[in-house]
Chain A
């Protein structure tokens, strides 16, 4: 008897990388949540160490304060669930003229998750 034909013969299987730190099927498990957070932090720490060059200084608190004020300013729309750079670019396209220094700061500290992060509630 010949081998049964599989769909992977015509459509080759491709491994897709999941987003870093998001293991599948563990979102609802509250018991493992703390462990997952630790895993995420470990993964993030690893990524951070690899991508940030050791000579780059950490961003100063005044910059972080300016970015937080950008998040909270209501005229550019909601800030949850999207990165700050995405929000800045959307405001630019809608003609709301967001201030340029914020974009420069975001591009300069692109690798730092504290600067670029999506503002999420409860690890969404």
Chain B
């Protein structure tokens, strides 16, 4: 796509320079609307418990699930709450899932002195065959068994189960359903080729500087300083760059200085200071040429709980002088040229990966869309702000592009829904590991990876 456009018009770098150098004006920004107001927190109060967010999640998703249940199992099914269940009667119950996992890290077990246990080391997956699923609604809970995949589901999902209560007090599930894709948004996309570059995991401040060359190549391609006239004219069609989290590397998070004595660490600077200065210089180069949306990630200097608030502009003094720099929340939702983008920096997907048998990031991304919730495991295993009024992670409208950052590989899929939804699912790979970014074409919702790498001593080409 990108390179096919470039090839026919390529004059090649071996031609003599033309008398008058051509200029390629960048495609102007026509429609940008930031829709992430639900993720922006004003005054934060942590004096609340998390029962509110679960209650609001269930109350908010219950009507949609009841409609789905009726359309799937017939209009005449009986919808019951757990307190009204009768043994042996086939009915449908809507509730929140809880998965009781033996290996789930528990703070109570860690601080319990009687056990004298060393805290459990972090594992890639915490699932075990002995895990159990329990359905909870506002008042009661019941164990589930039957036609339901215990390993695949995670805590916090709202679903409807159809079955009957057994004599031993468990609920035998015959079928279950999720909220399914939310209602579609009208399509007002552009008629000509417009690209959005998605990159994540720049990983600045890491010990090895190998990814720096690739980052500089990325900046040069976007700003049109790389390649012949063909590539430059293609780069002029890039209307926006979205950096989806983990701009700093995990190395900047080292906590050695906390354990050392103060007199040893007085002169040392936090590793993130140098990394943020580097980030500022890179963003300065990008912002002079193209609008940039910067989302914070797991290792970035902002709050830990979801939704992560935008990075403060005082950390980026050079780049924040430009209005093309937008510091946005994680998760991020915006209308770009009539196309609705929704995405996160990947913490929600990697958390579900740890507690579910699903291995493929794209599969998990599609599953969260089917379940109607961006991050069901928050607040159980993923930090979350204690919302009380409404759960902003519930998907009420179907986005056109749904992405997650910091995935191990690049994957993309165009999903067609039953009500006419068209969603492009993109897993944006970690740039510091794969040197790959994604180009999304807004006209026809296709996605193409673009890899930047230098030829090192150990390359095989």
Q: Report which A residues bind B (CB closer than 8 A).
A: 7, 10-11, 74-75, 77-78, 80-82, 86, 89-90, 93-94, 96, 118, 120, 124
Contact = CB atoms under 8 A, between A and B. Distances in A.
A81 B139 contact: no
Interface of B: 47-49, 51-52, 55-56, 59-60, 138-139, 314, 386, 388-390
24 contacts: A7-B314, A10-B314, A74-B138, A74-B139, A75-B138, A77-B56, A78-B49, A78-B52, A78-B55, A80-B49, A81-B47, A81-B48, A81-B52, A81-B386, A82-B48, A82-B388, A89-B389, A90-B56, A90-B388, A90-B389, A93-B389, A94-B59, A96-B59, A118-B47
A29 to B, nearest CB: 18
Contacts, number: 44
Contacts of B49: 78, 80-81
A120 B47 contact: yes
Contacts of B48: 80-82
A11 B313 CA distance: 11
A21 to B, nearest CB: 13
A81 B50 CA distance: 10
Given A74-B138, A74-B139, A94 B388 contact: no
Given A7-B314, A93-B390, A78 B51 contact: yes
Given A78-B52, A80-B51, 4 more contacts: A77-B59, A78-B55, A82-B52, A96-B59
Contacts of A77: 51-52, 55-56, 59, 138
Contacts of B138: 74-75, 77
Among A7, A80, A118, the one with the most B-chain Cβ atoms within 10 Å of its Cβ is A80
B38 to A, nearest CB: 14
B83 to A, nearest CB: 10
B409 to A, nearest CB: 41
Nearest to B138: A74
Contacts of B386: 81
Nearest to B52: A78
Contacts of B59: 77, 94, 96
